[in-house]
A = this chain, B = another copy of it.
Amino acid sequence: MADQELKSGMKRIAHAARMAAQSIADLPTEEKHRLLKSIQKQLKERQQEITGENAKDLESGKQKGLSKAVLDRIRLDGKRIQRICEGIEGIIALPDPLGEVMEERTLRSGIRLKKVRVPLGVILLIFEARPNVVIDAFALCFKSGNVSILKGGSDAAHSNVILARIITDALKDAHITPDALQLVASRDHEAVDHLLDLEEDIDLVIPRGGERLIRNVVKKARMPVIMHYKGLCHTYIDKDADIGQAVAIALNAKIQRPGVCNAMETLLVHQDIADKVLPLLAAGLKEAGVRIKGDDQVCALVKDAEPASEEDWSTEYLDLILSIRIVRDLDEAIAHINRYGSKHSEAIISENKDAQERFARMVDASSVFVNCSTRFNDGFEYGLGAEIGISTQKIHARGPMGLRELTTYKYILSGEGQVRT
């Protein structure tokens, strides 16, 4: 497609989204729930059609030589479709955030001020392989009164199209504008660049995926971006840790699901407890097949540990690899985390109240964990319901983003003729 044509295509998509935003913002909760239930129903009834389209993506993925892990992310089967439906159920069960009066007071002028929760408007979500995101993201945006523009990875193109068609069909059946969902079908990388220019019609971009993709979005977007670059999460085992607890939490943070952003990448251990905790931990790590990289002291204590390089401290392995460093004290642990961490999830294991409090106060991260696993950084675990992403930024939303984080507010001021003097 010629660049000019692509550009005007993206303009049309964003403008159609903006035009639909007002009516979506005004839908009653019940009507939104009916729509979500009808999508659920369609997902079940059209399961064969979905898996048929998904098979095309899997087939061309195999031909392209995609890794098993990526192919697994693309795959949709009966069980996964069932899980998508349960996700919709969860979103229906959450309270509608819109219309909430967040503050109300009478000003010195006698004017009555109300701060009311309203939708953001139009949200652009950029994501990579998993096609279930089409349904999850639409459901979250729609329930919070927003129009979604979705740009998925080309590896799941057929799957994304069929899932988007199911949503669009349900919207039409319910006499709601089908413009409430915009799927960007173009496989052209430039498509995203054009969208990122359209600040008039797009209120927020949420990029999900690899760090390179996200850095490109941050560089080019004219509208606000909420995201996390990576999850380089630490667990610090203090000298006053309960050793059994420390070992169990560290193993969980590394092993339970190593490929996700809230898994531990670096373990910090206080020098006074290292010789007690490391042998126990190393046994568990080896059993799970974890490769250990460590500083000199760690290499002396743990057989088979490889020496860690400076680069290791800033590497998000997303794999069964762990870097371990022994620190002099709590403050060295805090300094290491604030230097190398990604402001995502940071944990301390300690029975000492002062150490817990100092760590929680001084570590700069969206979530600080005391005596529990970083793996708990998750919208569902926090009671927010599903999440559209996790933010490591400090603006607007920090940590898991649920329905409420997809809203903003509006001041409504009512007077009886007040003028300013």
Contacts and interface: CB of A to CB of B under 8 A. Distances in A.
Interface of A: 22, 26, 105, 107-109, 111, 113, 120-121, 199, 203-204, 218-219, 222, 224-226, 242, 245, 248-249, 251-253, 256, 338, 356, 360-362, 364-373, 375-377, 381-383, 393-396, 398-399, 408-421
Contact of A418 (B251, B376, B411): B376
B219 A219 contact: no
Copies per complex?
2
Given A107-B383, A394-B120, A411-B382, A224 B224 contact: yes
A381 B109 contact: yes
Given A108-B383, A394-B121, A395-B204, A419 B226 contact: no
Nearest to A256: B420
Given A249-B419, A368-B413, A419-B373, A398 B393 contact: no
A415 B415 CA distance: 49
Contacts of A376: 107, 109, 111, 413, 415, 418, 420
A410 B414 CA distance: 34
Contact of A420 (B367, B373, B395, B396): B373
A256 B398 contact: no
Contact of A415 (B370, B409, B413): B370
A395 to B, nearest CB: 4
A384 to B, nearest CB: 10
Contacts of A121: 364, 394
A187 B360 CA distance: 40
In this complex, the member of A245, A368, A382, A399 whose beta carbon has the largest number of chain B beta carbons within 10 angstroms is A382
Given A369-B413, A370-B413, A376-B413, 14 more contacts: A105-B383, A107-B383, A113-B382, A120-B394, A203-B395, A224-B225, A249-B417, A370-B415, A371-B416, A371-B417, A372-B414, A372-B415, A382-B411, A399-B411
B108 A224 contact: no
Contact of A371 (B107, B253, B415): B415
A375 B413 CA distance: 12
Contacts of A251: 419
A394 B121 CA distance: 9
A222 B222 contact: no
24 contacts: A26-B361, A108-B383, A120-B395, A203-B395, A224-B394, A249-B419, A252-B419, A365-B410, A367-B412, A368-B410, A369-B415, A370-B414, A371-B416, A371-B418, A372-B414, A372-B416, A372-B417, A373-B419, A376-B420, A395-B408, A398-B408, A398-B410, A398-B411, A399-B411
Contacts of A413: 367-370, 372, 376
A146 to B, nearest CB: 10
A409 B370 CA distance: 17
